[in-house]
């Protein structure tokens, strides 16, 4: 039995759509597009997937550099929600705490003249960032099949340094 072409308004569109995705799963994502016979969807889907995964990894590591402010904002937001405050004000409280921790950290880092105190402040921001990035890198490395501890340790050092630079550098 041959397959008939898909027409707009056809009652069998859902069935053809499911068959297309079943073929895509079995063939590893290289099933031809049912709307354009003989064309492969892989040349466009593979780069788009890489861009999406790359952006996800960038967003996770950028968030890891802000681990302390994110943690403070989440704690303030959830704490206010646990006290019975409505959801929208709790979100505002969490965002205000997040921004307040960043502002106080930047102000303190740029105004402290005592080197040990400034180093301790940088460590307060860099250590949670390193721990968060170690966790993220370890998860990604184990998914990819690499030696997860070594990769995660390198990522933790790099992201900790980035967090320290973000705190003290101009325009961060």
The reported pLDDT for the residue numbered 27 is: 47
68 Cβ neighbours under 8 A, 6+ residues apart: 101, 105, 124, 125, 128, 129
pTM above 0.95, yes or no: no
Four-point Cα dihedral 78, 81, 86, 92, nearest 10 = -30
Q: How confident is the model at residue 90 (pLDDT cuts 50, 70, 90)?
A: very high
Domain ranges for the chain, please list them. Answer: 12-65, 66-111, 113-172
Chain-centroid distance, C-alpha 58: 6
Question: Rounded mean pLDDT of the chain?
Answer: 80
Tens digits of per-residue pLDDT, 94-118?
Answer: 999 999 999 998 888 888 888 888 8
């Amino acid at each position: 039995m041959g397959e008939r072409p898909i027409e707009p308004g056809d009652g069998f569109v859902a069935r053809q759509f499911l068959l297309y995705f079943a073929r895509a799963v079995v063939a590893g994502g290289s099933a031809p597009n049912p709307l354009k016979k003989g064309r492969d969807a892989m040349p466009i889907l593979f780069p788009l997937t890489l861009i999406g995964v790359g952006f996800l990894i960038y967003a996770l590591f950028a968030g890891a550099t802000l681990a302390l402010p994110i943690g403070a904002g989440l704690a303030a937001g959830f704490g206010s929600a646990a006290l019975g405050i409505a959801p929208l004000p709790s979100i505002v409280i969490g965002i205000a705490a997040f921004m307040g921790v960043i502002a106080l950290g930047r102000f303190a880092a740029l105004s402290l003249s005592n080197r040990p105190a400034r180093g301790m402040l940088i460590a307060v921001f860099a250590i949670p960032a390193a721990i968060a990035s170690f966790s993220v890198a370890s998860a990604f490395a184990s998914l990819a099949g690499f030696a997860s501890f070594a990769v995660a340790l390198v990522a933790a050092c790099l992201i900790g340094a980035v967090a320290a630079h973000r705190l003290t550098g101009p325009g961060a």
